[in-house]
Structure 1
Amino acid sequence: MPRQKFLQIYSQLKQRIESGEYPVGQLLPSENTLIGEFDCSRNTVRRAISELVRDGYVQTRQGWGVCNIFQPIEHSSYTMGMIESFRETARRTGQTSTTRVVAFEPCTADESIAAQTGFPVGEELFALQRIHDLDGVARILNISYLRRSCMPGLTREIAEGSLYRYLEEELGMSIITSKRTFTVELATPQDRQWLDLGEYNCLAVVANQVYNSEGVMFEYTQSRHYPGSFRFQDNAVRRPEES
């Protein structure tokens, strides 16, 4: 299943904005220009633009067009309103990245795993642990449980690449939404084994429950971040209180 057209347009426009092809403060090409370039409907272009608005890349100006308001994000910044793979984040922030799988095995959700992840007891899962290096330094420990019925052919080698690329491009999955919880936790012996925490005794922890277009939760991942480079960016919109 190919990616929806508006997502392809969104991705290309976002890349152009991030690369500086569309300078900050200037207008993007007109709707008619984009319709001609991408050979699509007006609604498709508008849906792609609405995604860029939601993510804080552009702002629509009545009677003028769509203005680029993107400002480059600092290294190791993550965005609240987007679901990105580790490699996508590293590419966006201009860093080199590598992933190492340190544990990969099938398992069945017991009561403890079910309570932590939200998967039902008895669900067949893959238990996956990965170390993410940024510019050659171990910065993130990812502890994941993945629903096996959604990716029965997953292997250790695939997990060392881009998991989301595999799911979207090879399996045709549409990844739709993620529920996130942010906490700060004391470092465990496992954290210290895999991450160089230096003087820090804690980590920033992001727990993700990720759902596909069928409303199925296919992933639970706990990302344990080195705190010295952990930043999350959010783009908020004020909605006036109804009187």
Structure 2
Amino acid sequence: MKENKYMSIYQNIVQDVKRGEYKPGDKLPSEHELAEHYKTSRETIRKSLNLLAQNGYIQKIRGKGSIVLDMTQFNLPISGLVSFKELSKEMSNPPKTKVNELTEMEGNAFLEKVLELSPGEKVWQVVRSRNFDGENVILDKDYFKQSIVEQLTVEICKNSIYEYLEKDLGLIISFAKKEFVVEKCTEEDYAYLDLKGYDHVVVVRNYVYLEDATLFQYTESRHRLDKFQFVDFARREK
């Protein structure tokens, strides 16, 4: 019961932070005040605050209490395993997606290697540009094994492929391996991105697996240099 209580308090405070009731730099009420407000023990409140600290919502400072951190700087478009549609919901000015290509093709030597394809095995190629404030600054190139994803449409690709895979196909997407590199621009980058004179892009490569550890997707997310920022939150465990 206590575990449910401290988790409920944690979630309530997270929602308060997201709604702006607590702003970055604000100090949370004291443990005593929170215990009275939630009608629970200080031990339960302490567990809730520890969880908030572990997840980057607050910093506990001796003599000052719990200070709310700026979570916007920790929202990584390339961190975690979420769809672009899910990330867009957190943005005040959501970007627009354009499907440039949707192609059914046989895997070439490169795709056979990165997707562990059998010779002649087919894949879906999806090329989408992401437009922020009138500029195409991200190019996403996705490849899905057709043996797992039998059908794709332009409408699905424009909306959310992951939503379709999970809700319609019942697939359980579990984990991904990521690589980050800087590469010279390709012809596709010049064709689909507003590069503003930049001749390199940041490339985030994803190898995505299902719950049974089946590799089913390879992705290259190609970012214009001035629009790419890698910011993450890490806490040293003692």
Q: Is TM (by shorter chain) over 0.5?
A: yes
Same amino acid, percent of matched pairs: 29
Residue 72 of structure 2: aligned partner: 72
* Structure 2 unaligned spans of 5+: 1-9, 39-46
TM-score, length-scaled by structure 2: 0.72
- Answer yes or no: is the 8 Å Cα contact 1:178–1:211 preserved in 2: yes
Contact 1:79 1:234 in 2 (8 A): no
Summarize the alignment of residues 101-180 of structure 1 with structure 2, pairs less than 5 Å apart.
101-115=99-113, 117-122=114-119, 123-180=121-178
**CA RMSD, 1 decimal:** 3.6
Deviates more, 1:208-217 or 1:148-157: 148-157
Q: Deviations over 1:76-117 (max 9, x none)?
A: x625642222233333232221111111121222322223x2
Give the number of the structure whose alpha-carbon radius of gyration is greater: 2
Q: Offset at 1:144? A: 1.2
Q: 1:118 to 1:218 in 2, by over 3 A?
A: closer
TM-score by length of 1: 0.71
In the alignment, is the contact (CA less than 8 A) between 1:18 and 1:92 conserved in 2? Answer: no
The equivalent position to 2:221 in structure 1, one of 220, 223, 232, is: 223
* Worse overlay, 182-191 or 168-177: 168-177
Distance 1:55 1:214, change over 3 A: farther
Q: Partner residue of 1:26?
A: 28
Per the TM alignment, residue 13 of structure 1 is displaced from its structure 2 partner at its CA by 7.7
C-alpha separation in 2, matches of 1:192 and 1:185: 13
After TM superposition, where is structure 1 displaced by more than 4 Å over at least 4 residues in a row?
10-16, 21-25, 27-30, 52-55, 58-61
Contact 2:115 / 2:217 at 8 angstroms: preserved in 1? no
- CA change 1:153–1:120 in 2 (3 A) is closer
CA distance in 1, matches of 2:176, 2:53: 19
2:190 maps to a residue whose letter is R
